A = this chain, B = another copy of it.
Amino acid sequence: RRQCLSTLGQAAAALTAGPLLVGGAGAQRPPNVVLILSDDQGSTDLGCYGATNLHTPNLDGLAGDGLRFTQFYVNAPACMPSRSALMTGRHFVRSLSSDGMSGDEVTIAEMLKGAGYRTGCFGKWHLGHPESMEPLAQGFDEFLGFKVGAMDNYSHFFYYGGPNRHVLRRNLEPYREDGVYFPDIVAREAERFIDDNQASPFFLYLPLNQPHYPLQPEARFLDRYQGVADVARRYQMASLTSMDERIGRVLRRLDDRGLRQDTIVLFLSDHGHSREERTFGGGGRSTPFTGHKGTLREGGIRVPCLLSAPGRVPSSQVRDQAVTSLDLLPTIAHMTGAALPSRELDGASLAGVLASAGAPSPHGQLHWVYDKSWAVLEGNWKILGDVSDDSLALYNLAQDPAERHNVASSNKEIATYLIGRHNEWIRSIKKEASSKAFVSP
């Protein structure tokens, strides 16, 4: 066991996995898993996270049916690395190559397929174009969506590089449904997939493309927010409500088929909100955090996350433990009885955390790298480094969630300790890391 902050006189970091209070798979049919990923949604941009006047009744309802996490992290503040880590339970520096998620990784879909699940992916893949990295090669029986980072929702064209082109695919083939709003296609396919697979356990992965640019919420949602003066915020709010409505369709279908008691529903964002010009400079909400997509500040990597599994986890509770999207694969394995992939994972089962607000996080430290930045979190302490100028900042998140007050100079021992942990982790992971992915994923 490594040295930890408690040896420096700080509050003890919880390094041991909690007892398994959450039931594993028994003789009964294993639960379905519905994993919904939003795209570029701000850290706290949901009604149930305190966003004012934002109408997200279906996701707020999901929080009421289950658990809401307040310190849930993704592995990177960008689409591909975050998704690669989510799908594999392994840090993106291990699981992502320069082309996409490595074909020899074991995804949640492959893990569950091995346990007899039917698997479907509808939405934005964005984990690689080569055939070995296609959804169908990564454990999914079905795919409808696109593999690039963004797409026009009506023409299904890609505009952000190269020739303007149509990118919608069903499985491996081009698929045209010109003029139909993509979120409606995704919701319809999700409903159909649920209907088709009522008899068998299924894994439904819905990587939505809202509220990512292009921001194309329907007029009725823009009208709802016409009182919002800031155009960037108005489009973001309308996009989130539009997304929430489609999620409502999926949840309703589970209800209508009597499947909610047999289904784990997970919702999270792939990272923080965008500040790009394509989103009018960014109208996402991360209050009280700062930072956004592309940064390792809390607003880049801390995301809304909800988990509902009636009868399996408590309802209407909050979990404040620092946990991560790396934990979802092992947690799903635990809850479904699927066999864990036989390789080193960076995540750990959240069974204890799900069962109890008082259970410790399975993680002593959490580590991030992205582009030129790196970060380590242990307890309340977060250190943020930048290799381009060797700058360093130490924050106490409990006192300073906005990361405004660099207290490194008055806490040199802690900073030195965390730098040591970072260097140690880098050494441990570097043998597996794709240097290209490491530097600029």
Contact = CB atoms under 8 A, between A and B. Distances in A.
A280 B163 contact: yes
A302 to B, nearest CB: 26
A216 interface: yes
A164 interface: yes
Q: How many copies does the complex hold?
A: 2
Interface in A209-242: 213-216, 218-219
Contacts of A218: 178
Interface string A157-171: 101101110100000
Which size bracket describes the interface of A in this complex?
Answer: 20 to 34
Interface stretch (A12-20, A22-30, A148-156): A148-156
A214 B152 CA distance: 12
B277 A155 contact: no
Interface of A: 152-155, 157, 159-160, 162-164, 166, 176, 178-181, 213-216, 218-219, 277-281
Contacts of A277: 162-163
Contact of A178 (B154, B164, B214, B280): B154
Closest 4 CB pairs of A and B: A154-B154, A179-B179, A154-B155, A164-B214
Contacts of A164: 159, 213-215, 278
Given A152-B152, A159-B164, 13 more contacts: A152-B154, A152-B155, A154-B155, A155-B155, A155-B216, A157-B216, A159-B159, A159-B160, A159-B214, A162-B277, A164-B214, A164-B215, A178-B218
A39 to B, nearest CB: 14
